[in-house]
Structure 1
């Protein structure tokens, strides 16, 4: 199983009145993790979009465990939790500087045609990506 790792410096603008990272910012960091994982596999999500394919989130689970604060560095771990050729579930853990789990999450996606939002058979249209996802998944 391939686990991609990204570091993110917590910016002041990402915190709330309590001085901790505002919960929605973790979703952005998860996107950073997905993009990095796709790059680590040798692909580009931007290139996929330029071909008229989008990958919307269809489900999201997130559990908040420990806070992160301004000035700390978050480490995002991202992997392919499930993949069946059409639907992909990415897994995430974001860690505090001391190595504690700040969040655990999963996001489910399908690939669709940009113009119609009609799902595509990813394994058929992108066999090289499909093979890489099969090899990298949990």
Structure 2
């Protein structure tokens, strides 16, 4: 048996996925204000196609989120002071939660998580008039650390 690589199907699938991953959110959205404003503006006005790497990373996250939150996907969204927000799920106890899928090592402590996550959580707490929120972090790469083989 002889194997030959034909990347045309993968290229078409990535292109199709890239066309589907844009989520229309209320403008402005909490996440747009936390992350890069320039990129958010261009994404709204003159969107560039996502790179194959971006499509793979985003679709992996969306797919896992759909499976993991299937029972909990009761998104809490709204607009506060003209800014849109949407938390990922409600916990069993009924308060909002945010799921983050990351390639960061599980060996990193809570103080080493991205500061943008903290800003997002604080924003959602204010938007929901709540004093508690669950941040669920799934470390996709486990607890890897150097030295690598």
TM score, norm. by length of structure 1? 0.29
Larger relative CO (CA 8 A, sep 6+): 1 or 2? Answer: 1
TM score, norm. by length of structure 2? 0.27
Q: Which has a greater percent of helix? A: 2
